[in-house]
Amino acid sequence: MTTTIQETDERIIAVLSGEMDTAAAAQVEKELQPLLDSKGKEIVLDCKELEYISSSGLRVLLSILKQAQCVGSRVVLKNVNDVIRDVLDISGFISIFDVE
Amino acid sequence: MASLKNSWLSRVGIVVLAAVMVEILSIMQYEHVQQALLEETDLRSRVVMNSMAEEIQHTLERTEIIMRENLWDIKRSMAHPDSVFGAVVRLIDDDRNLVGGCLAFRPYFYPSKGRLYEPYASLQPDGTIKVEQIAGPDHDYTLNEEYLWVLENRSTSWTDPYKYGPDSLSFTTYLIPIYDEQGAIEAVCGLDIDLSWLGDTLNSRQPFPSSFGLLLTPDGELVAGPSQSRTPEEEVKQVLDVLNGHIPASDLPGVSFTRTRLFKDPFWQVVEVYKKDEIYARVRRQRRQQMLFIVLGLAILAFMINRYARNERKLREASEEKARIAGELAVAHRIQQQMLPKTFPPFVYGSLEPALEVGGDLFDFFTRDGKLFFCIGDVTGKGVPSAMLMSVAHSLFRILSQKTDSPARILESMNHELNRGNDSNMFITFFVGCLDLYSGELRFSNAGHDKPFLVNGAISLLPSKSNLPLAVFPDTQFEEQTYTLAPGTLLLLYTDGLTEAKNVVRKTFGRPRIQEVLERFRNNPDQTLCCLVTTLSEAAHAFAGEAPQSDDLTMLALRFEPDHNRSEQITLVNKESEVTRLGTFVKDFLAPLELDKKLASGLRLALEEAVVNVIYYAYPVGEQGEILINADTNGKEVRFTITDCGYPFDPTTVLKPDTTLDAQNRPIGGLGIFLSRKLMDSISYSRIGHKNVLFLTKNIL
């Protein structure tokens, strides 16, 4: 599981690739720490290469969203594949994130 | 209700019809008898009257004869006018009926006596006879019509009755002409006869208390009648008025008359008067008695009809009841049969043949989480009570076996429920098994049931310990045993309807005969279980022959046929990092199945969430524990089994999180088990010994 963060003037883009299982979640949470300080910029989570996510992964995404909402930032999930979309669907997360 | 009313009406109708018919018959008979009686009375009274008339006639004739015989004495005495008295007195003395006598001579017969001379003797109340000459200016007999009639006709004559005064007796006078030698009438002799005796004679022998006889002159004048004490004068007068045509006969409807008359002078009429009431009195009395009997008869008839109708109704109700019960039993039979499994996978087959419409036997099975749950049972007795108790047991088995994999727990819970209010003292032998279709591990508990046959290399009985049957004591402890079936092993469960099937000489089918059939089956492994059960049933029936089936015959056969093609396992410790190994393990296990990506990912996620749950919560913090994961598949289904030795914890009881909340209100955790349940077909938990066992199954076709 790897993460890459690119920051522009308007948005912070985090590219997630690999499998975000319970074992990986703690590391990913640490790596995505910069997103918690978004300063009102839009946060884009690019899931193009994300192959798997467990409930621990969802929890990481939820904590980012909660923090962003506190500072008035938007969180967008991009390029979500069917597997991930299915999990978002079942968990009801699809309605609290902006999924593009 | 309408038919009840109708039958009541028809019953009343029959009685009324019978009453009307009997009454018509009775009235006809009554009229007939009345008529006959009237005629009979008439006839009889005619006979009586005729004899009475004859008697009167006879009396009068005798008086005539006596007088004629004594005429010579009179004639002789006529020689001297004064000696006539003596002759008349002698005449009166001779005849009791005579109360007076006189001789009325032709004028100047005795010149010395003047123109008129009529010596007269009369019987006085004191019995003496008074003599006197009664002719005179105020009694000129030559002017008397009857005297003149005798002179003219030269014949004897009876006068009409007369009285001297209101209190006088009634008399009649017999007038006889007395001739001289030349045939000229010298005098007319008159003899007074008291008529009171006539009335007495007429009324001395009356057939009815108030009937009476009258003697009338041809002109209808009363000669003699009943005494005042017998019949009031008024009544006699009314009758006379009718007889003489003064008033119509319809004014005296209750009175009937019969008349006859004397055949010679004085031609008096004898009239018999009687009241119809009295004639009919006897027949009326009879009719009253008859009516009493008729009413009694009708009452008995009504009673009998009622009884008949009631009996018929009871009979009809009984047959309806019988038909209803038969219908209900047929429905009960259908219900009971419908509760039994209908479709059988190749590794199970069962059959139940009740001895009566409904039976107290049961078998059932179903698969859950790759395990076959099965049971067989037999309630003491047979028929409806057994069937009802068995239905309860069946439902309990179905419900309770959803909650636990432990046959002993199932039996305990069933037993507990069945003991509630079981006053009938019925009990149930029951065998519950749970066969792991992947491993062949059989967990079972036996509540007093026959030991099943075990057929593998040899034929034996499953070494099961017998616990008490169900519904005996509420707190019975049931021991659970395990036995691992080798692939191809057959298990045959049965009720005593098989072993104790009896033939006509009361010999039982017995285990050795079952064993023979099993032996043949063992040597011919291509035979289906259905074939085995059918063969056994036929063998039992053939053995029983003509003897009726004495008990329900139930069998359940199952064969352990491990048809899974893969089974893998991994042991993890309770560390988060182990999830990586788990991921690899699952991916490797699923890869050959070439599943859809989404399905494969879902299976992995479900297993990961369940395992993570164990990693986090099963063991105390800081304590190392092992987690065993089995993955099995038969190509149709995937089953994961997670076993740990941690705290007893059933994750299936965790509440479902609210997935509709917004981000701020969503709790961070609590989603894992929910995802597992969503992604798998079933998740079930068992506490086996000191282990938590969680089964996750998913159909992959």
- Flag whether B496 is in a domain: yes
Burial of B102 (0-12, 13-18, 19+ CB in 10 A): buried
Total residue count of chain A as it appears in this document: 100
Q: What is the CATH number of the domain that holds B409?
A: 3.60.40.10
Residue where one domain finishes, among candidates B539, B559, B579: B559
CB pair distance less than 8 Å for A59 and B669 = yes
**Is the pLDDT reported for residue B401 higher than 80?**
yes
Q: A1-40, pLDDT tens digit by residue?
A: 888 988 888 888 999 999 999 888 888 988 988 888 777 7
Task: Assess B605–A contact: CB distance below 8 Å, yes or no.
Answer: yes
- CATH code at position B180: 3.30.450.20
Tell me the shortest Cα–Cα distance from B333 to chain A, in angstroms: 46
Pick among B668, B679, B680 to test the A interface (most A CBs inside 10 A): B668
- pLDDT tens figures, A31-62: 988 888 777 788 999 999 999 999 989 988 88
Of A23, A58, A62, the CB nearest to B577: A23
- B335 belongs to a structural domain: no
CB-closest option in B583, B664, B669 to A21: B583
d(CA B335, CA B317): 26
> Which residues of chain A lie closer than 8 angstroms to B614, CB-CB?
none
B663 touches chain A (CB under 8 A): yes
Q: Which of A57, A43, A17 is nearest to B604 (CA)?
A: A57
Element (H, E) at A24: helix A22-31
CATH number of A2-99: 3.30.750.24
Q: Which of B497, B530, B559 is the last residue of a domain?
A: B559
Shortest Cα distance, chain A CAs vs residue B647, angstroms: 22
User: Are residues B514 and B384 both part of a single domain?
Assistant: yes
For residues B503 and B577, membership in a common domain is answered with no
Residue B362 shares a structural domain with residue B390: yes
Q: What is the pLDDT of residue B399?
A: 92
Which one of B608, B662, B671 has the shortest CB-CB distance to A21? Answer: B608
Residue B435 in this model has a pLDDT that exceeds 80: yes
- Residues B495 and B581 grouped into a single domain: no
Task: Please check whether residue B316 touches A, CB under 8 A.
Answer: no
Domain for residue B315, yes or no? no
Sheet containing A2-7, strands listed edge to edge, beginning at the edge strand earlier in sequence: A2-7, A11-20, A42-53, A75-78, A98-99
**Could you give phi then psi for residue B700, rounded to 5 degrees?**
-110, 5
Q: CB distance from B192 to chain A under 8 Å?
A: no
Q: Is B649 part of any domain?
A: yes
Indicate yes or no: CB of A19 within 8 angstroms of CB of B583: yes
Chain A closest CA to B622's CA: distance in Å?
Answer: 18
Q: Are B506 and B615 within one domain?
A: no
B573 interfacial to chain A (CB closer than 8 Å): no
Q: What is the ipTM of this complex?
A: 0.89
Give residue B563's pLDDT.
62
In a domain, B296, yes or no: no
The enclosing domain of B655 has a CATH number of 3.30.565.10
- Look at residue B28 and tell me if it is in a domain: no
Q: Smallest CA–CA separation between B662 and chain A, in Å? A: 6
Which of B658, B662, B652, B653 lies closest to B682, judged by CA?
B652
Do residues B543 and B584 share a domain?
no
| pLDDT (tens digit per residue) in B68-123 | 788 888 888 888 888 888 888 888 887 777 888 888 888 888 888 888 888 888 88
User: Which residue(s) pair with B362 in the sheet?
Assistant: B377
**CB contact (8 A) between residue B578 and residue A23:** yes
Are residues B574 and B515 part of one domain? no
Question: How do the domains of chain A map onto residue ranges?
Answer: 2-99
pLDDT band at B667; cut points 50, 70, 90: low
* Helices B384-400 and B276-339, axial angle in degrees (round to 10): 30
Name the pTM for this structure: 0.53
Q: Which of residues B504, B529, B559 is at a domain's end?
A: B559
B523 with B637, same domain: the answer is: no
Q: Which of B554, B555, B536 is nearest to B358 (CA)?
A: B554
Residues B378 and B413 in one domain: yes
Q: Is B254 a domain residue? A: no
Q: Average pLDDT over chain B, rounded to whole?
A: 85
Indicate whether B1 pLDDT > 60: no
When CB atoms are compared, the residue of A69, A82, A90 closest to B675 is A90
Domain count along chain B: 3
Whether the Cβ atoms of residue B554 and residue B497 lie closer than 8 Å to each other = yes
Give the pairing type, strands B361-368 and B348-353: unpaired
In this prediction, residue A52 carries a pLDDT of 92
Contacts of A73 in chain B (CB under 8 A): none
pLDDT of residue B5: 65
CB-based contacts of A81: which residues, under 8 Å, 6+ apart?
A47, A48, A50, A51
Q: Are residues B590 and B544 in the same domain?
A: no
Domain extent at residue B418: 340-559
Interface test with B, best of A50, A83, A93 (most B CBs within 10 A): A83
Instruction: Verify that B395 and B526 share a domain, yes or no.
Output: yes
* B303 is a domain residue: no
* Candidates B608, B662, B678; nearest CB to A54: B608
Do B470 and B447 touch, CB atoms closer than 8 A? yes
Q: In this predicted structure, what is the pLDDT of residue B433?
A: 96
Query: Is B146 found in the same domain as B74?
Result: yes
- Interchain proximity B668–A62, CB inside 8 Å: yes
